[in-house]
């Protein structure tokens, strides 16, 4: 699969309706403009369809499981139906478990807690911190950043071939980078893992909102993603996959809902029998609306058709890439090269600019919301940028260490709700800022670059 170079085609569909599409924001130069939300990789706006579905359910909201009242039973059915809907969206296997969590980070920490004793974990340094950091209690091998998909597979194969073949092992890999947007060879990495007796978990936080994801087709053992990146608000996430490690592990949280029975022992303590179902790791009152919103988003994206959504996104990617290519001072960051297939996420630096300063100017002077910094993927961004911090600029990076005030980048990201006008305004703004400079002065305040007043 390659990225199209066409800028416009008559067959491209309209963006899906999202909340906030008509919100206006003030400009420091005067007046207001419709806000261009180009930070989908952090949190995508909620689909209007999802919001409407949640609003229709809200009057019927009730506690789930064990409640005798009608609203409780209704909410329980809705919660468990949401589980089935998301499992269908992910094309889960019949025996897989699907646990509702708070986020991708929460999902991967849950899995880390469920690892068998003496498990070896293999993870590329290119991962988001959500999938890079949860494995601290395991034997972790951090793999160097590959420069091609094929090199990623070879690197993993070499590492797995050198491991202790008798113990359990887990590979953690992203589906699409939150920094470069590049697609990773998940199916090939899964085959390599299984050939060496390891399992694999897919961080699909950036992949699931942009492409269909099939647990069976990719042959991954687990998949994790977040609702807030899938156009679903209310702070819920998913861990879906093989049940055996989850059933064998102590509950992620101890409390009501996770326990089947609790009795007093003769020695004065308590004896607990834990559930073996997904409830084992869902202690406490679950986020019913969060789970329902994820299911509603899964339905909306499926009905819209991923083939159509992918085609529109490629159209937008081509517009952004063509526009940035016309500005020599802009360098787009990439691991796998310019022709690597990607989702609607691109990071770049601008010669002569601190990235925080540039992002602040995009917001204050053009009403464009992007992200700057190291994107919770510090090792990857440092690898892509190198060790030279470059020009200081007016404002420092909010995440940068001392001496690295300019070691940061700008990320633009978009998706199913992005209109052409937003990416066109972004490209025009980049061109004007590079050519003419900022129209306003900026300063650092509480670690952020903000307009000076």
Active site members: 376
For residue 413, list its beta bridge partners: 39, 345
Which has the closest alpha carbon to 171: 144, 203, 145? 203
DSSP state of 40: T
Which stretches of 266-354 are DSSP H helices?
288-304, 306-325
Phi-psi region of 345 (alpha: psi -120 to 50; beta: other; left: phi over 0): beta
Q: Which long-range contacts (CB under 8 A, 24 or more apart) does 270-276 make?
A: 274/250, 276/247
Which has the closest alpha carbon to 134: 222, 209, 215? 222
| H/E stretch holding 160 | helix 149-161
238 within 8 A of 245, measured Cβ to Cβ: no
For CA atoms 202, 203, 209, 211, the dihedral sign is negative
429 within 8 A of 437, measured Cβ to Cβ: no
């Amino acid at each position: 699969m390659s990225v199209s170079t066409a800028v416009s085609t008559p067959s491209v569909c309209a963006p899906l309706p999202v909340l906030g599409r008509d919100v206006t924001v003030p400009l420091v130069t005067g007046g207001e403009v419709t806000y261009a939300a180009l930070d989908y990789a952090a949190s995508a706006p909620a689909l209007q369809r999802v919001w409407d579905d949640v609003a229709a359910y809200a009057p019927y909201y009730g506690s789930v499981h064990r409640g005798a009242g009608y609203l409780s039973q209704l909410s329980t059915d809705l919660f468990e139906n949401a589980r089935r809907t998301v499992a269908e969206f992910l094309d889960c296997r019949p025996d897989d478990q699907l646990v509702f969590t708070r986020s991708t980070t929460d999902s991967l920490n849950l899995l880390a807690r469920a690892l068998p004793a003496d498990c070896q974990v293999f993870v590329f340094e290119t991962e988001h911190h959500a999938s890079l950091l949860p494995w601290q209690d395991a034997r972790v091998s951090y793999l160097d950043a590959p420069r091609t998909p094929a090199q990623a597979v070879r690197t993993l194969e070499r590492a797995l071939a050198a491991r202790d073949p008798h113990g359990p092992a887990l590979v953690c890999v992203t589906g699409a980078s939150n920094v470069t947007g590049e697609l990773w060879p998940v199916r090939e990495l899964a085959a390599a893992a299984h050939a060496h007796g390891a399992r694999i978990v897919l961080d699909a936080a950036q992949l699931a909102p942009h492409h269909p994801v099939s647990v069976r087709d990719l042959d991954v053992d687990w998949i994790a993603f977040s609702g807030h990146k899938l156009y679903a608000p209310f702070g819920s996430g998913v861990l879906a996959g093989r049940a055996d490690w989850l059933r064998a592990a102590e509950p992620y949280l101890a409390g009501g809902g996770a326990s089947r029975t609790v009795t007093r022992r003769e020695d004065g303590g308590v004896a607990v029998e834990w559930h073996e179902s997904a409830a084992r790791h869902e202690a406490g009152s679950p986020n019913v609306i969060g789970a329902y919103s994820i299911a509603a988003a899964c339905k909306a994206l499926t009905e819209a058709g991923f083939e159509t959504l992918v085609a529109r996104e490629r159209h937008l990617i081509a517009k952004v890439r063509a526009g940035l290519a016309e500005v020599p001072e802009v360098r787009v960051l990439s691991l796998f090269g310019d022709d690597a297939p990607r989702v609607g996420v691109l990071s770049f630096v601008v010669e002569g600019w601190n990235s925080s300063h540039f992002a602040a100017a995009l917001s204050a002077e053009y009403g464009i919301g992007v992200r700057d910094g190291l994107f919770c993927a510090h090792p990857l961004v440092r690898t892509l940028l190198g060790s030279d911090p470059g020009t200081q600029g007016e404002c420092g990076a909010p995440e940068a260490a001392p001496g690295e005030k300019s070691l940061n980048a700008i990320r633009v990201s978009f998706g199913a709700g992005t209109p052409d006008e937003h990416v066109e305004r972004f490209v025009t703004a980049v061109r004007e800022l590079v050519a003419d400079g900022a129209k306003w002065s900026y300063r650092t305040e509480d670690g952020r670059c903000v307009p000076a007043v």
